[in-house]
Structure 1
Amino acid sequence: MTDDAYLFLADTTPGSDLPGTPVSLTGELECLQTPAVQAWLDAHETDATSPALCIVPPEQTGMIPDGVERLPVPLTEEELERVRRAGATDPVAVVEEELLSYRDSEEGRDALLHKALAAGVPAHRIVELSGVDPTALPTAPRV
């Protein structure tokens, strides 16, 4: 796993599965204004508003198709959270919001942890969002 997020140009032909998150859904990212990113975009004859310009957080670099040119970009913690939320599926995004809210409460802890695991939220994200000790995570989601 890398510490950098990655920009790449996705195949946007109809019927293609779009990996990553379109940059247009993440809000303003500081890295888009850097000379390195501007030069990369110019070299590909595109700009930051292109629907083909996608980004993945460090833990999802495996989503980038083989052979696709990519550019590592640093993100602030706030930007990284926006990228992760923009790329989350609806059920995962809802549970992640609940996990963030959980930091201030102990009520319903076990049920929420099970719900997060069942929704497909990775264990490291549950720990990051909720602040729980990794050893407190249930080993299997309830169904």
Structure 2
Amino acid sequence: MSTDPATSNKAAFSRIHDAVNSGDAEVIARTIDEVVEPDFLFHAPVPMGATGAQALKNVWAVLLRAFPDIHVTVEDVIAEGDKVVFRNTVTGTHQGEYRGLSPTGKSVTYNEIFIVRFANSRIAEIWGVVDVFAQLKQLGAIPT
């Protein structure tokens, strides 16, 4: 494996994407423990109810309950220095409670962009922009 930090950082975050697409909460939590700093900072419009690595685990627990078939497709990856940027398309079927909405059975497709900062080859901080408006509109929570 390359010793180039940008390359190893991309690979570390790709492990998270692979875990997420497994649909297995235990695999996701274990991978988070392996590649995310315990006290990492998470800046994103997502339901967390916690801080540090536990916040990321909580987000994925919520998403897996709401969208058991959730799938994240990485569209673009840009890495420089200690940061990696990912632009993703997320799809899923609303089969569980989400943001106060009962399951609708509707499919959603939305976009997100994350800037991930690494320290000591682990994820130390994430800034995220998630198209929550598109999610809620597709679920019928916001009039079209």
Asked if Structure 1 and Structure 2 have the same fold, meaning a TM-score greater than 0.5 normalized by the shorter chain, the answer is: no
Higher strand proportion: 2
Band of TM-score, shorter chain: under 0.3
Higher helix proportion: 1
**Which structure has the higher relative contact order (CA within 8 Å, separation 6+)?**
1
Give the structure-1-normalised TM-score: 0.25
From the CA coordinates, give the structure whose radius of gyration is larger: 1
